Structure 1
């Protein structure tokens, strides 16, 4: 599902970014731990999923050690070098700072004042470290008059410098002009042509409009200009975002890339290698700090590509090891979440693994035919912890699916109509592409209609290398969740095909919500999910009482263009380690596209959305993950109102009376024309 960004929604909402998918359980997305730096030319097909943008580049080194740093907006560019000294929180002029670099903790006063107090004491540069986890995205303000470079670093790095590096030489550099930079979210592998393989959870919710792929990447600190845009993302239709089963996806680039391609291992090769406990290598840019399950998060993410060697194991071995670690030997190995679409790898004693940041990257095996990819980095409990193998999508199991996409008739793999009112019909189109080398006649069939239907005659013939749009409709008078498979057949048995998973959920009208929030002729209310929304004592409504992996849904179907305003709040379990991937949260969707969410303890916030088009579905969904409950475990909504856009009325111009020309017998006709025009004007004015 693509993310939908709305400028009208304020920054108070955590806007759904195209980076990482929501992960509804304690499975942790992976990284390289205990490995080593890779050779620059060892893995030419290694790729990075990145977001690119224009930014000032900075560098910071202290005592010859490099540290990650960020610039402040409205800060001066330049270079500075000097001894590092501690200036506390920078709330007063930093004495004895002559020709030195000031190390200042965030807190209490503005960044600009901290920088000015350093410069007034003779300092030549400033390093501000955070007072909480994470980076600083700050500004020095439009009226900042300082002249020395100012950078920010994390709390961890700042405390380390304060304790170990005062008095050492620090070097700061801030570029004078913005350059293209990239931020990597996941790894991937290049299959040749315009095709890239990665994990489905890496692109679940990502937008092809923003996400790019850097094929053959090695050093993330440069080469951002080489990133290639994406035409289409194909997630496996049976991908399970809770258990991370079928965790694979194909990315189609806008153009072919001239680079070596990785070879994919067969299922037979994988089985033999697992039985023999062969050594395999996993590659990525993930963090390098391991931790036990539940004890994260990690850190220390490198720019340079890293690798680590592990040993393959059979699925039965993996299940037994996990059962012993999770259940103390008394649990059922079949309850560990390992499916036939997965494969595991680890080392005895732990200490080496993939983890956060390495997701989507390759697990490769050196065979008689060279390096072959056997897995895609998927999930694990903790990072590199003893008794908890890393889990990978087993590539050999997906051969038919892969071939059907990049060498056959490919169709959008998952089509989710999201939430639809029982009496409504929704229509959308999906892309069908002929990636084979021959023209094909195509027919379509829905295995269980469940309210899904197609427009006859569309996309019945597709030339090689071309695409078309197929219209899919959904309407169902019953309440519930519905799914079906859209299957493709061709007139050429040599051409592989793919299929699409169709999904929708219907909910019924709610007079109760209209009673609480007030009736509006332009707004119709619906509610459903496992439990409907109900009235709240504050005059608004609250989500129904639900348990793990359930939803409570409220939806407003708004007719016409205009401004929809509302206040929302939530009291829920919060993911403090990774706020972008919430545990329990209140989400908002615009026409089925996720637009944002709030999670944790959030008091009522006012929001406003500008709606265009004839009709819009605004859906609020309180969703719970598989475990734990905190707070009131509720989402709240109140003061919902819709202000239609006033349609400007263009006044009818006052007709100019036809003048009566003298000495013409038609003068009476002129007078009649004038009266007719006047009558028209009067009628208009009476309206």
Structure 2
């Protein structure tokens, strides 16, 4: 596969991933928030469109992770095995060093509660290293099936992610581009979604210690916050945004000729305002790893 790492970035290479951590919120455009009823004193009322997007039927496989006090992670059901156990694609850092599936209670979008049986962490992921964020991937095996969706989603098997319009979905906190995350914006625990253009595609590094990422940036309405050279500085549409805290492990989707497919898993973000960036573990290059755990459905592209 031909390498397509985009080197023309503003600032330091790949935005100093060492300083990035789990992204801090579902952040949307100020203008969309205001159009949806957001205002001072009614901050949580401006996310109707983002919630409605997440509730579209193609995203029925999304799941939230609950730690007993709050939602702290997201994932996506990718199918059930012959024994009736569900498998969920998510981020490895949701499990810390112990990889204990009991860290969470797992809820489908429709509210079905499930418990964890096992966690499979990507072998290239190193929680103590800044060199493996693209492999921040895990698959959780649950004690029971997911039955809220008729068909498991596709995983993307092609190599044409660059420049694609993508939808990101998760259950995390909320905010707007001029302010960032704030609890006052978060008045519901249902899912929210945003859209963005995949501006950077990285192939896996030969040593497994770099690459394997899809990167997006959060463009402001006036185009002044563009991060990646040669990319459109304006929002892709009114749904422009990024994911964040509680969205770790959330899925990035594109529409293909075969249907909607997952192209990435939300791993990190460097800020929560206009000009922030987000990184997703790339799925298309991880066919063998996924198939070694569960026989998920991939596109043929």
Normalised-by-shorter TM-score class: 0.5 to 0.7
Q: What is the aligned counterpart of 1:189 among 56, 76, 79?
A: 76
TM-score (norm 2): 0.65
Q: CA deviation at 1:247?
A: 0.5
Cα deviation, residue 297, structure 1: 6.0
Please say if residues 361 and 376 of structure 1, whose CA atoms lie closer than 8 Å, have aligned partners that are also in contact.
yes
Identify the match of residue 288 of structure 2 among 392, 400, 425. 400
Residue in structure 2 matched with residue 49 of structure 1 by the alignment: 65
Q: 1:210 to 1:28 in 2, by over 3 A?
A: closer
Higher relative contact order (CA 8 A, sep 6+): 2
Change (3 A) 1:365 1:44: same
Q: Deviations over 1:318-338 (max 9, x none)?
A: xxxxxxxxxxxxxxxx9xxx9
Whether 2:277 is the aligned partner of 1:389: answer: yes
> How far apart are 1:352 and its partner, in Å?
2.0
Matches of 2:278 and 2:261, distance apart in 1: 18
Indicate the residue corresponding to 1:27 in structure 2.
20
Deviations 1:288-327 (A, max 9, x none): 22579xx9764333312111110012337xxxxxxxxxxx
Question: Please, which of 100, 121, 146 is the counterpart of residue 207 of structure 1?
Answer: 100
Considering fraction of residues, name the structure with more strand: 1
Shift of 1:369: 1.2
Change (3 A) 1:384 1:352: farther
Contact 1:354 1:384 in 2 (8 A): no
Partners of 1:195 and 1:229 lie apart in 2 by 11
Question: 2:153 maps to which residue?
Answer: 262
Who is 1:252 aligned against? 141
Aligned pair partner of 2:189 in 303, 316, 319: 303
Aligned length: 221
Residue 362 in 1 paired to residue 241 in 2?
no
Alpha carbons of 1:28 and 1:289: their partners in 2 closer, same or farther (altered >3 Å)? farther
CA separation of 1:25/1:246 partners in 2, compared to 1, >3 Å: closer, same or farther? same
Residue equivalent to 2:126: 240
State the Cα RMSD in Å: 2.8
Does the aligned pair in 2 maintain the 1:188–1:360 contact within 8 Å? yes
CA 41–314 in structure 1, closer or farther in 2 if over 3 Å, else same: closer
Aligned to 1:547: none
Q: Deviations over 1:552-583 (max 9, x none)?
A: xxxxxxxxxxxxxxxxxxxxxxxxxxxxxxxx
CA distance in 2 between counterparts of 1:373 and 1:404 reads 18
Equivalent residue runs for 1:45-84 within 5 Å = 45-52=61-68
Q: How far apart are 1:32 and its partner, in Å?
A: 1.4
- TM-score w.r.t. the length of structure 1 is 0.30
User: Which residue is 1:227 aligned to?
Assistant: 113
Flag the 1:234–1:306 CA change in 2: closer, same or farther, 3 A: same
Contact 1:49 1:214 in 2 (8 A): yes
Q: Is the 8 A contact 1:208 1:232 kept in 2?
A: yes
Q: Distance in 1 between matches of 2:295 and 2:164?
A: 31
Instruction: Give the greater-gyration-radius structure (CA).
Output: 1
